[in-house]
A = this chain, B = another copy of it.
Amino acid sequence: MARIPGVRERGRSGMICTDISIAYFVPMPNNRHIVLRQRPAGPIDPDHFDLLRCRRPEPAPGQAVLAVEWLAMDPYLRSVIAGRHLGAALAPGERMPGQGIARVIEAPADGPVQPGDPVVTDCGWTEWVARPAEQLRRLELPDGVPPQTALGILGMPGLTAWAGLHRVAAIKPGEVVAVSSASGTVGAAVLQLARAHGCITIGITSETKLDYVKEELGADFVLSRTGDLPARLAAGDIPRFDVAFDNTGGEVLAAMLDHLALHARVVLCGLMAQYEQSERPPGPNLGPVIGARASLHGLVVYDHFDALPEFLATALPLYRSGRLRCHETVYQGLDQAPEAFCALMSGASHGRVLVRLKQ
Q: Which residues of A contact B (CB under 8 A)?
A: 84, 86-87, 249, 253-254, 268-271, 274, 280-287, 289-300, 303
User: A254–B84 Cα gap in the complex (Å)?
Assistant: 16
23 A-B residue pairs with CB within 8 Å? A86-B291, A249-B286, A268-B286, A268-B289, A271-B286, A271-B287, A274-B287, A282-B282, A282-B283, A282-B284, A282-B285, A283-B285, A284-B286, A286-B296, A286-B298, A289-B298, A290-B298, A290-B300, A293-B300, A294-B298, A295-B295, A295-B297, A296-B296
B298 near A292 (CB under 8 angstroms)? yes
Inter-chain CA distance A166–B270, complex, in Å, is 30
Q: A249-B287, A282-B282, A283-B285 known; 7 other A-B pairs, CB under 8 Å?
A: A268-B286, A280-B287, A282-B285, A284-B286, A290-B298, A290-B300, A294-B298
Give the shortest distance, in Å, between A235 (CB) and chain B (any CB): 19
**What is the count of identical protomers in the complex?**
2
Contact partners of A303 in chain B: CB under 8 A: 293
**Which of A87, A298, A303 is packed against the most chain B CB atoms within 10 Å?**
A298
A268 contacts B290, C-beta separation under 8 Å: yes
Q: Which of B269, B287, B290, B293 is within 8 Å of A290, CB to CB?
A: B269
CB distance from A209 to the nearest CB of B (A): 24
Interface contact B289-A296, CB-CB below 8 Å = yes
* A273 smallest CB distance to B (angstroms): 11
Q: How far in angstroms is the closest Cβ of chain B from A83? A: 12
Complex contacts, A286 vs chain B, CB 8 Å: 249, 253, 268, 271, 283-284, 296, 298
**Complex-state Cα separation, A298 to B291, whole angstroms:** 7
Kindly name the residue among A268, A284, A287, A293 whose own CB sees the greatest number of chain B CB atoms within 10 A. A287
Q: Is there an interface contact between B298 and A84, defined as CB atoms closer than 8 Å?
A: no
In the bound complex, CA of A303 to CA of B283 (Å): 27
| A85: min CB distance to chain B, Å | 8
Chain B residue at minimum C-beta to C-beta distance from A297: B295
How many Å from the CB of A286 to the closest CB on chain B?
A: 5
Chain B residues in 8 Å Cβ range of A268 = 286, 289-290
Q: Which residues does chain B contribute within 8 Å of A294, judged by CB atoms?
A: 297-298
